[in-house]
Chains A and B, each alone.
Chain A
Amino acid sequence: MQKSLFALLILFSIAVTAYGQLKIEKPSLGTSNKAFAIVVDQDTYTHTEDAIRAYQKTVEGDGIPTYIIHGVFNRPDDIKKELIKLHKTKQSLEGAVFIGNIPIPMVYDFSANSMAIPSDRFYDDLHLNFEYVKQDAAQTNLHYYKLQESSPRNINPSFYSARIYYPTLKPSDSYEAITSYLLKVAGTRRDNVLDHVVSSTSRNYYNGCTAAWKDEPKAYKEYFPFLVKRTNSLQQLAFKTNNNASILNEMQRKEVDLFLIRSDSSPILQDPKIKQLHTYPLYIILDTQPAGAFDSTAYAARQYIFNPGHTIAVQANSRPATTDINFSGLLSYGIRWGHIHNLGLNLERHLFGDPTFHFANKDTEKLNEKLSQEDNPEYWRLLLKKDNPIYQTLALYKLSANNATLSEAVTPYFETSPYRTVRLQALNALSAYKNKDFTAAVSTGLSDEYELVAQQAAVYARMIGDTTLIPSLAHVWINDKSRLRVQQIIIAAFEVFDRNRVEKSLTKALSNSNRLHQETEIESVKNSYMQPSVLEISLEQIKDKTRPTEERIALVKLLAARNYHPGIDGILDIINDRQEPIELRIAFATALGTFSHSWKREAILLNFQTLLKSKISKELKIEIERTINRLN
């Protein structure tokens, strides 16, 4: 009821101003720096004009020429058109902020059959090509899009964007909230040193692994070199399932600059109580679900910026997604939050608040400038040589994301860097190459002294499935019982390999150990590997032509979801088999799309290339091309 009423209201307001002109006010700052665009709907503009100007003045005071674009926007495309124009000018664009009621693009995920995700990547990633699907019938500010087949799949934003959005049934509330917020931003100094950090993560986030919790501050010390030397400068909240009281209390601390709340399921975060709260940390990274779902009027992230406290921005996801905080070090150097937010971006992650904001500038590399310029691999190569984990992390990301370096150049940073965050970034960078260097790094990484690297390596090991990884996995499984989370991932990872090999490796590792109950443990491994696994059975069943097609499709989905690499050859045989029903072959091709890091990826691609050259149906061809895209 409320939803539709709200939609009606929006419709009404659109109707009133439908004939209004789109207006672009030019920056008052004369400089060749890249520009920033404030995009605001006409009604909000009319009611908050003074505050918007004050905000524009503040951003310009920080050296960014700032446009104000206001008008009536019926569709996301109306805005995108203008942004593209500005981006194409010589001055170009480094970022934009969407104030008020700006149409919300709902983007279907790149993989097939999923729900639409509210995503401003529609606006800020100009490389992606979208196709309009429809407007939401009930909530008319939602517009559905899907990616064109020809569009690139990886996200590579052209500039940063953020929202200052206060959805409400009463427009005057929204105007008031936005005015107060903008004046707050205008009144907040940008020379605040990032020297107080709070972090809260619930037990579940680490699967209850205390070693993971303990290792986390080691990374924080690399991210935040300017922390004051005092008890509370780096506050890691207790390892609980419910941190309600602590979160509320920490939100009151005026000296806190950054509050990281990740996968925290503390009930308070969803509680109405938080709505009346004044929050003081300048920047909050709120990785709780669905804090950033701005297609819903009650999205939680807004509570933190629209209150009289000091909070300037919140980063949150519009739908469940992983949050990578490995670039947080750049916050310490005074890089604009928008720039940092854009690194390793996905469809879901959004910034709420002013994206031009930053902490005190401590950077000797003029990174704000470098990040808004076209990527220059030479520069990132130079930056990588600086003995500084924050710079190296950024350089590794930039070089690998743009394919601007060989994996051989990244490997040494993984193998020898004393910085945990650099090793983590190097491992992630290597994952893009999907080659022997990556597999070797994963093998070493399983016993990295930094838990997060080991954990990530175990996840990758499962995705790769190369049998050469089995001995390392078995070694860590037997000899590194201190890390619960890694242990859990490894035990699950064993199922993606050939069982005979796993059994042999485990038996060997146990025999080489001097464990008290070695004999019984070996016996128990042998017993548990005597019976075939569910996945082995499933593989046999998908080959069985007497079974119903739907059942075989369900089974292949299971094999794919569980990364069962030994099944790949069998699945390919079925795709190649012209006697098989076409919908089965198509579904099997789709399933193989999940093996993007598999050691058999080349084999799949080779098989597909051959198949594409043969005579196959159009539908199968399209699906194979799509799968090739996902594998690349």
Chain B
Amino acid sequence: MLPVIWQGIVTGCLYSLGALGLVMIFKSSKMVNFAHGALAGYGAFSVHALTAGGAGWPWLAAVAAALLGAIAISVLVYGLIAELLQRAATTATIATLGIGLIAQGMILWQYGSNIFRLDLPLPHLSFSILGMALTAYDVAVLSATFLVVVALFLVIERTRLGVAFRAVSTDPFAARVCGLSISRVHLFSWVTSSMLGVIAALLIVPTTFLSSTTVTTFMLQAFAAAVIGGFDSLPGSAIGGILVGVSCNLFSFYVAPELLNTFLLTFMLASLSFFPGGILSQRLGSRV
């Protein structure tokens, strides 16, 4: 049982990374980005195309290029959506679904429905602690998650942009009255979110393979993590990711792996019934 939980924690970290991106966008612009998975998948595919898939770049350069590309795309996406956001979050949400479809279609068009392998450039190490095999991959995932979360925390807590982000997410109107540029904060959250998405995608792909749907299906767990942790809480979604990772692993190991989506659905509905607004939310007044 212990190895199953441990593997759950490792993949849960990646769900947290995905969920953090979704929550960043939700906190600033009050909308859900359904294109998150498809765009992150596009990033993973471009890393593959730049390294093993032909161009033969060094891995780090390819990742840097993919991150830059993700930033450019997220700026473009935000530019398309910005005006919709001022009217209704619903229409902006539907627009992100459209963008997700386009990204998915572009992946299919450029790379077909083939399956690729995309490994991290890691040495084949594995040590054994308490009867559990600890591989270099696990260490890489844990340390990458740790670094990203710490960096995100520092940016949000210590920089002027982070203060502005918190102000906008608490009260957009008051923030605008104080002279903060809303669209700059939105851009910050969209850019950060897209980078988090690409990092999560690159880390999740080695566990399975890279196909046009891998990353999008992976993002369902990220959505579940965000729902369980609360869409307006960054630490909540980080914990939610690990909870989802562990419980999914336990469920598919002991009960039925073919019912995983159904399990996630019931898990989300149960969590909404017992912890409306997320596991970390204090129940302060109404949230209508």
B and A form one assembly:
no
Interface residues of A (CB under 8 A from B): none
